[in-house]
Structure 1
């Protein structure tokens, strides 16, 4: 057994184990083929089409808010009034306001992060600056609660931080954030280009049209969580920390960072960054099961039951079975240290 396997066994005991979802093949709705959109990192559904932003686009032509038709063709763009640093996610408020999370920080050196707000009918977005109370964080996930409060979920491995503004946003002053909660990322075995590491960082988030559900995604899976009626910020934070996530496998996307609900709330939409050498990428629709089973939670004394014999396997999904708990034998301290070091290195290399 390798050090990585031993570390995986320990994490399986410490974190929730992902239950087996009712799997269905995703539907390719349309294909984005535009050289300005090679690093899509944020997505929302908007009427009959979509709105997307790039992940810290190097080219000026990519540093815009892009409106797409239902066929994934660019119909118009909105420019930022100043250069964003690293736009990583989008959210749509109940009133139609678009929020863009300028929250990426691979090197964890930014003193402030930003939120861009584009109100319905506005010609240009407004920038708000925020600061963390506990040092810089890389983040790629943004939610907007039913009361209009933006919520940032960090890309910290294993346990993501959940941050909300301490007070109302002010375009003339930096507003401090506070750490309001955490999300312990469930263990899964879903195939993705980053392997084990890709299952333990949050890369995007979405709120259902009725505000009663949220979804957080990794490079491999989405986790849907119910929210109390009204969906105020406190309710969303509580759901993230205490809810029972339902897993929707998103296997083998080239670099999956975007997630959104369809306008009717019956499915999740996902679009990846383009793979190296590719000139297009598909918008995928993942149907949500009517009554998905909640995730089972493991404990230090009871290992998660292996469901390899009965589990349905979608194309591209791993059928690895349960993670062995018996691997918690000699050398576990060294194994965990090696695993955490690998995660720290990986989170600097992947966005």
Structure 2
């Protein structure tokens, strides 16, 4: 079912955006070159510990704590898997916590500087949810509190949650290639659905890192985390960890205007979780194992983050003077957004249009094959 969900996500992203890329009436002009990201050498992660508990085969979110880890499964039909799991440093489950009501699709976990744990109930493979939810578990609390939110522009699938410097939750969607960023448009209140607003998008760097989903796996964000000291933030795909420096708690600014460092996560079977070690020196990941060979157990892996610094991208005059779009981000555009805005209705547009139509036809063919296979079964 997860593989079908990933395919649906990719096909929706392709057919919705590819044919229209580059449509604008602005005159053509050259886009400013973006700084080159720092990329670490691809090495296998170092095993920290193996999770032996049979309930934890769909791990979709993880944070490191002072005495171990907190993990959650994604949406599950089995009641004993719908828990918040607390692990010690050897990956042994020490306790679990139930939700007051049934979550729909928990996909990520974030931890605030004060120890508050946020659980992101934001998964929506079919894009049918009228609202998403965040579960807030205060330090020492016996039960998490549910907060509902709604997108301003229709349903999105999402699997990553970050926190701004002031603690504001930031939802990062799984839109292929350019995930969108949303924040609550007001204080969260239990029992009330709070609308969100879009504050930008992330221009994912292109890599060639090996992963089970090939090029598609390098286009979709499946998790995120804040460094313990707030100085960095990381998003992950099925293939890579993409890290940004954060200044003065401005996580949105870092994601939309910063230049990333890339740490490859090669060969992870189904990587959907990432967090920092408590000292901030390592990136920790864990994969789902539900679709792996029988008996496969999830292992927490440690990676050394890519080192080095990159200069911030220069702001072009066109970006600085562009008229704001009230329905979109109020942050300066990403390098990719600036490049799209500079494309006029010329040969480049025609190429994009033809490419988009080809991709749409391919998408329809794949859906047809899936339908035939399902009918035969």
Q: Following the alignment from structure 1 to structure 2, what is the Cα–Cα distance between the partners of residues 148 and 20?
A: 29
Corresponding position of 2:308: 291
Of residues 174, 192, 196, the one that matches 2:215 is 196
Deviating more after overlay: 93-102 vs 144-153: 144-153
Deviation at 1:276, TM superposition (A): 2.1
Corresponding position of 1:114: 133
Does the alignment pair 1:276 with 2:292?
A: yes
Residue aligned with 2:84, SS: strand
Corresponding position of 1:335: 355
Structure (1 or 2) with the greater helix fraction: 2
CA offsets per residue over residues 11-67 of structure 1, 9 Å max, x none? 9x9998765324444210001122211100000001131110001122100000001
Of residues 21, 26, 42, the one that matches 2:40 is 21
Q: Following the alignment from structure 2 to structure 1, what is the Cα–Cα distance between the partners of residues 223 and 100?
A: 24
Q: Following the alignment from structure 1 to structure 2, what is the Cα–Cα distance between the partners of residues 177 and 335?
A: 33
Is the contact made by 2:177 and 2:219 (CA closer than 8 Å) also made in structure 1? yes
Q: How does 1:83-122 map to 2 (within 5 A)?
A: 83-122=102-141
Deviation at 1:288, TM superposition (A): 1.8
Deviating more after overlay: 80-89 vs 279-288: 279-288
Does the alignment pair 1:148 with 2:167?
A: yes
- Root-mean-square deviation (Å): 2.9
Is the contact made by 1:16 and 1:187 (CA closer than 8 Å) also made in structure 2? no
Is the contact made by 1:15 and 1:184 (CA closer than 8 Å) also made in structure 2? no
Residues 1:104 and 1:119: Cα distance change in structure 2 (over 3 Å) = same
Is the contact made by 2:177 and 2:203 (CA closer than 8 Å) also made in structure 1? yes
Corresponding position of 2:184: 165
Corresponding position of 1:305: none
Please, what TM-score do these two structures have when normalized by structure 2? 0.75
Residue aligned with 2:48, SS: strand
Residue aligned with 2:253, SS: helix
Does the alignment pair 1:55 with 2:88?
A: no
Residues 1:295 and 1:250: Cα distance change in structure 2 (over 3 Å) = farther
Q: Following the alignment from structure 1 to structure 2, what is the Cα–Cα distance between the partners of residues 130 and 21?
A: 37
Corresponding position of 1:261: 276
Q: Following the alignment from structure 2 to structure 1, what is the Cα–Cα distance between the partners of residues 363 and 238?
A: 14
Deviation at 1:337, TM superposition (A): 3.7
Residues 1:192 and 1:97: Cα distance change in structure 2 (over 3 Å) = same
Please, what TM-score do these two structures have when normalized by structure 1? 0.80
Residues 1:343 and 1:76: Cα distance change in structure 2 (over 3 Å) = farther
Structure 1 unaligned spans of 5+: 298-327
Deviation at 1:185, TM superposition (A): 1.2
Deviation at 1:334, TM superposition (A): 3.6
Deviating more after overlay: 272-281 vs 104-113: 272-281
Is the contact made by 1:258 and 1:270 (CA closer than 8 Å) also made in structure 2? yes
Deviation at 1:184, TM superposition (A): 1.3
Structure 2 unaligned spans of 5+: 1-13, 23-30, 315-347, 371-377
